[in-house]
Amino acid sequence: MDKSILLSVVVSVYNEEEALVLFFNELTNELKKINDTYEVIFVNDGSTDKSKDILNELAKNNDFVKVINFSRNFGHEAAMLAGIDYSNGQAIICMDADLQHPPSYITQMISKYKNGYDIVLMKRSNREDASFFPKIASKLFYKIINYLSPVKFEDNASDFFLISKKVQYHLVNNFRERTRFLRGLIQFIGFNKTFIEFTAPARISGKSKYNTKKLLKLSINAIAAFSDKPLNLGIIIGLIMGLFSTIVGIYSIIMYFVNRPVSGYTTIVVVLTFMFSINLIVMGIIGKYISYIFYEVKERPIYIIEEIIEKNKT
């Protein structure tokens, strides 16, 4: 593959057999408009359907296609990072294969890059298949993380983005955390950035791989990756409860001396139950941060590649 290519398109794939051919056709039609060299890197994240076979066939029939097959499922962010690691382009676009990241925006993204931007974020202005709850949850997540983190993130930024070679260098060499929030990392790195708003169309097949549990885990990972403020929760609550205890103590002493002792059973039960709940929450937060340290210290690989398929190289 020519090392001087303009664009690398990284596509994370997990069980997308029904959408892959249509996505590839739309993508290649759009790439032909840029009038420059490009490559498409599909990262098969341990798919269990026919996605691997379809991708391998695309690689064998198209000299601009490369397929990276993982040994198992390592997750969406690991797949994007692998694609970035193996990209040769001066600009790199990450996107999904379900057509909720429309290829029609690629020419606009390249135009922004040529105007001097190192990061082009794609912000969802609307999502056609999203219900009320996910939209509210997304807004709430960005409000929370922007409050907790010293780095302010663009609301509704997606995993559809463009980065320059400079940003790629830092992701490959300096940001190898096991606990990642990739769309946050690229904003943390800095450099010139801009955004383009887009409407995410409904999926053409299948269902989202991010269920409520996975989205909650991603949100917790994102907060932990960029903020240590939750660790201060114990100190803050301790100070508040200390002040509350002092006030209750003074009140009880006064009532004792005016011969109106306070009945303590209900108060004790409520206070003890509340304090035990807070204590367990704080311990849970500390435990979560310790688990992140545990994963980092082990330094296991972020992903494992089974094979790389390219035309005339297999």
Return mean pLDDT, the chain: 80
Mean pLDDT of 168-184: 82
Fold that domain 7-227+302-310 belongs to in CATH = Spore Coat Polysaccharide Biosynthesis Protein SpsA; Chain A (3.90.550)
Quickly state the pLDDT bin for 141 (edges 50, 70, 90): confident
| pLDDT reported for residue 286 | 81
Residue 294 has pLDDT above 60, yes or no: yes
Higher pLDDT, 192 or 271: 192
Which residues face 70 on adjacent strands? 305
Quickly state the pLDDT bin for 149 (edges 50, 70, 90): confident
| pLDDT reported for residue 69 | 93
| pLDDT reported for residue 44 | 92
Burial of 226-262, coded b for 16+ CB within 10 Å and e otherwise, reads: bbeebeeebeeeeeeeeeeeeeeeeeeeeeeeeeeee
Higher pLDDT, 209 or 150: 150
304, 74 contact by CB (below 8 A)? yes
Residue 77 has pLDDT above 90, yes or no: no
Strand order across the 157-164 sheet: 193-200, 119-127, 157-164, 91-96, 7-13, 38-44, 65-70, 305-310
User: The whole model's pTM is what?
Assistant: 0.76
Higher pLDDT, 164 or 3: 164
Residue 1 has pLDDT above 50, yes or no: no
Could you read off the pLDDT of 7-19 as tens digits, one per residue?
A: 899 999 988 888 8
Q: With residue 222 as reference, give the H or E element that holds it.
A: helix 212-226
Which residues face 205 on adjacent strands? none
Residue 267 has pLDDT above 80, yes or no: no
Task: Give the E-state strand segments of the chain in sequence order.
Answer: 7-13, 38-44, 65-70, 91-96, 119-127, 157-164, 193-200, 305-310
According to DSSP, residue 71 is labeled: S
| pLDDT reported for residue 3 | 47
Helix (H, G, I), strand (E, B) or coil at 42: strand
Could you read off the pLDDT of 203-262 as tens digits, one per residue?
A: 665 565 555 666 677 677 777 776 777 777 777 777 777 777 777 677 667 766 776 665
- Tell me how long the chain is: 314
Could you read off the pLDDT of 124-134 as tens digits, one per residue?
A: 776 655 555 66
| pLDDT reported for residue 266 | 63
| pLDDT reported for residue 126 | 67
* DSSP output for 173-206: HT---SS--HHHHHHHH-SSEEEEEEEEPPPSSS
d(CA 114, CA 118): 9
Mean pLDDT of 33-51: 88
